[in-house]
Amino acid sequence: MEANASARLKRRVATVAHRVGLFLAMLFICLPGIWIVLSSLRPTVEILAKPPVWIPQQVSLDAYVAMFSGVGKGGIPVVDYFRNSLIISVTSTVIAIAIGMAGGYAFARYRFRGKSAMFLGLMLTRTVPGIALSLPLFFVYARLDIIDTHFGLILAYVALNVPFTIWLIDGFFRQVPKDLAEAAQIDGCTRWQAFWQVEFPLAGPGIASAGIFAFLTSWNEFALASQLTRSINSKTLPVGLLDYTAEFTIDWRGMCALAVVMIIPALILTFIVQKHLVGGLTSGAVKG
């Protein structure tokens, strides 16, 4: 009896320690986001205070009111930046997923010459940081006259996201047995019908995972967007943060408020597809 009681006590202590550790880890991870939200609600004096003021003494929504009350009146064009970000992110994600599905399925299901070398080449492109491509892309885009356009950023983000989507979707299609598609074809389905009605639904979590990562990459990207955009016609929200900086001053509260506005859609989308996201990461990324 004493041994059982001791074992139960150890399990409870281990469980409590595990939960406390997880809570502290999550608090550490979420601390920057919490600080941004608090900074958007407090006066600039508290933001710049040393030592830092952890609990705001004065809380107000003035930064948000100023942000949206200036729309169309010479203020920060938040609506235009949001529209540009949404158009560019959604379009580039849809195209990257379409290409990723085709490429991932081909790598997972077919054998062809140079398959391994081609796959390795795609993966090596992920090692090149986006900022290293900004100057070459600027010169190429200047020649093609597509600087400060939605098309230019969409093209860059598609190229940035395709290798990862192919890798993730390829890994997930490898988990779908070939026998299912073959059985569907025996029952009268065409190869195309077998893909859409059998394999595609089973690969849904992996495709959703690739989609959310591609969207977040495009939504949050700053280095390329800052070099390839010039006006409100194509500037995205991350680049719009620079509008709060002047030669001698920085509106930290306004910048934090815009950052919160930028974070909210990403959080909502992640919450909606979180089940698919977890399933895709735990299953699709495992090579069979």
* Tokens coding 205: 């979590």
Average pLDDT value for residue range 75-98 = 91
Mean pLDDT score of the chain, rounded to an integer? 83
Residues 205 and 279 in one domain: yes
Residues 55 and 72 in one domain: no
Residues 88 and 36 in one domain: no
Last residue of a domain, one of 41, 60, 79: 60
Residue 245 bridge partners (DSSP): 250
pLDDT at 236: 92
* pLDDT at residue 3 greater than cutoff 80: no
Residues 207 and 275 in one domain: yes
- Number of domains forming the structure of the chain: 2
pLDDT at 84: 94
Last residue of a domain, one of 60, 89, 107: 60
Residues 54 and 72 in one domain: no
> Which of 215, 105, 116 is CA-nearest to residue 157?
215
Residues 130 and 258 in one domain: yes
State pLDDT tens for residues 167-193. Answer: 888 888 888 777 777 787 787 777 777
User: Which long-range contacts link 257-264 to residues 24+ away (Cβ below 8 Å)?
Assistant: 257/40, 257/63, 257/64, 257/67, 258/67, 258/76, 258/78, 259/36, 259/40, 260/36, 260/37, 260/40, 261/64, 261/67, 261/78, 261/82, 261/237, 262/85, 262/219, 262/220, 262/237, 262/238, 263/33, 263/36
The proportion of the chain whose per-residue pLDDT surpasses 70, expressed as a percent, equals: 92
Residues 53 and 187 in one domain: no
pLDDT at 87: 94
Query: Contact 224/137 with Cβ under 8 angstroms?
Result: yes
Last residue of a domain, one of 60, 82, 99: 60
pLDDT at 70: 62
pLDDT at 277: 60
Task: Give the pLDDT band of residue 247 (cuts 50, 70, 90).
Answer: confident
Report the CATH number that the domain containing residue 131 is assigned in CATH: 1.10.3720.10
Residues 162 and 246 in one domain: yes
Global pTM value: 0.81
Residues 33 and 101 in one domain: no
Residues 146 and 255 in one domain: yes
Domain, as residue range, for 108: 67-284
pLDDT at 6: 75
Residues 38 and 167 in one domain: no
Other CB atoms closer than 10 Å to residue 120's CB: what's the count? 9
Residues 74 and 6 in one domain: no
When mean pLDDT is compared over 4-8, 21-25, 120-124, the highest value belongs to 21-25
